Amino acid sequence: MPSNIERDLGQIFEKVERAEEDRALVREDMKEVKRFLAEITHSLTKVTASVEDLQKDMNNVKPFVDKLSSGYVFLLGFIFAFTSIGTVVGVLFSSSFQKAFKAITTFLGAT
């Protein structure tokens, strides 16, 4: 009977040793996971800071872009109005030139 007790105690000790080894492996894995989480947290902090800087830059640039686009709208309106006036003046000048040419040729032809 003592041999059964010794065998059982031996098996229990083996299981305890395996459990301690498993626990050591789990601890190492946890250390690795903690390092990985620290790296992710650090990277996320950098990304967050970059996004905040980008938002600040965009807020600084927005008034300039708004002013620039309103300037372009004004410029396009001015160009449209100027070309329209130029077209009207060109048509009037052309008609006047034709009438003057016709009058001159008629006058010269009559004499």
Give the pLDDT confidence of 64-103 residue by residue, as tens digits. 777 777 777 778 888 888 888 888 887 777 777 777 778 7
Tokens of 61: 């640039």
Tokens of 65: 């872009």
Largest CA distance in the chain: 156
Compare 63 and 2 and report the one with higher pLDDT: 63
What is the rounded distance in angstroms from the CA atom of residue 60 to the CA atom of residue 57?
A: 5
Output the pTM of the full model: 0.44
What is the rounded distance in angstroms from the CA atom of residue 11 to the CA atom of residue 18?
A: 11
18-58 pLDDT, tens per residue? Answer: 989 989 988 998 999 899 999 989 988 998 998 898 888 88
Tokens of 32: 């690795």
What is the rounded distance in angstroms from the CA atom of residue 94 to the CA atom of residue 100?
A: 10
